[in-house]
Amino acid sequence: MNFELNEAIEILERTPKTLEGLLSGLSAGWVECDEGEGTWNADGVIRHLIEGEKNNWVPRLKMILHEGESRVFPVFDRFSHLEAGTPRSLEEKLAEFASLRSASVAELKRLIAEQGHSLDSTGLHPACGKVSASELISTWVVHDLTHISQIVRVFSNRYRDDVGPWVEYLGVLKKC
Amino acid sequence: MNFELNEAIEILERTPKTLEGLLSGLSAGWVECDEGEGTWNADGVIRHLIEGEKNNWVPRLKMILHEGESRVFPVFDRFSHLEAGTPRSLEEKLAEFASLRSASVAELKRLIAEQGHSLDSTGLHPACGKVSASELISTWVVHDLTHISQIVRVFSNRYRDDVGPWVEYLGVLKKC
């Protein structure tokens, strides 16, 4: 086990900067490319991350800390960001994600500092069963990383045919 | 084929910012973690990227454009960054990489703008054989992405046991 709250927060705090560094100002060719029908582009990933800040991570952490295993988490709709909304630029979405994340991290720190709150506290996930606060926060971190990885993989695959014979040397293009 | 020089440059220009957003100020627990003996940590990846700016990408592009297939590329030592050097902070290395990359992109633009230089020009890779300028530049882009992906995967694996039952939901933790 490697989880440390302060180190987990370091990653959570950096994700908006990482995504802004990677995506801000990019051409539509990159932002809108995906891996085929039913797959997500970078814009969709940011909308999904925004949904997670609003409806997943902190709300579930609160349930664990305040309600324990007395009530199962509401299901988080992982595809709700695909519903039509007001059209906004990627920059506006990146800024919204950064703002929401900043508030989430402040709330995370506040919740854990509250007297009597332990990272070993447990709640009930609708599919996974019993889960702890530290597992939820670890998952939040790796969920950020999985989506950074996804964007990078989608971009890489866009150039799969363009790299010519070097395809054999590029780990990110290896098919599982 | 999706390669466009301007779009390729967009990614090359963003990699230093992406890595700075992800890594700057991180605890040693993250920066120094790897996937076991013989694998690289984030610090090693940055040193490898610095070596590539100095000895791989622009030098090879120049050979393609100026010498064509008359001479095989010198071998690029992918492990030269593992040799001992002056100890420096990660921040210093990130700054060096950003500075080198900025100069590389300026040189890339200058080289391609030179009269008579075509992205279809070819050179000879010691293992791959004939490769074109556009394949080299595409590979440079995907090489950046593969190493961002690598760092993200290494970080994710650090929390493999900490995420508990959520391990099944996190794509980046799936083993190939």
Interface ipTM = 0.94
What is the CA angle A150-B154-A144, rounded to 5? 40
The answer to whether A28 contacts chain B (CB < 8 Å) is no
pLDDT in tens, A119-129: 999 999 998 99
Q: Do B7 and A29 touch (CB under 8 A)?
A: yes
pLDDT in tens, B78-131: 777 777 677 899 999 999 999 999 999 999 999 999 877 899 999 999 989 999
| B87 CA: distance to closest CA in chain A (Å) | 24
- Sequence letter at residue A13: E
Q: Do A141 and B159 touch (CB under 8 A)?
A: yes
Closest-CA residue to A19 (of B107, B13, B119, B21): B21
pLDDT in tens, B130-170: 999 999 999 999 999 999 999 999 999 999 999 999 998 88
- Sequence letter at residue B145: L
pLDDT in tens, A134-157: 999 999 999 999 999 999 999 999
pLDDT at A84 (0 to 100): 67
Residues 6 or more apart whose CB falls under 8 angstroms from that of A13 comprise A101, A102, A105
pTM of the predicted protein model: 0.94
Q: What is the CATH number of domain B5-22+35-173?
A: 1.20.120.450
- Which residues from A are below 8 Å from B164, CB to CB? 128, 131-132, 135, 138-139
Look at residue B6 and tell me whether its pLDDT is greater than 90: yes
Residues in A 36-55 with any Cβ partner in B closer than 8 A: none
The answer to whether A2 contacts chain B (CB < 8 Å) is yes
DSSP assignment of A143-174 equals HHHHHHHHHHHHHHHHTTTTTGGGGGG-GGG-
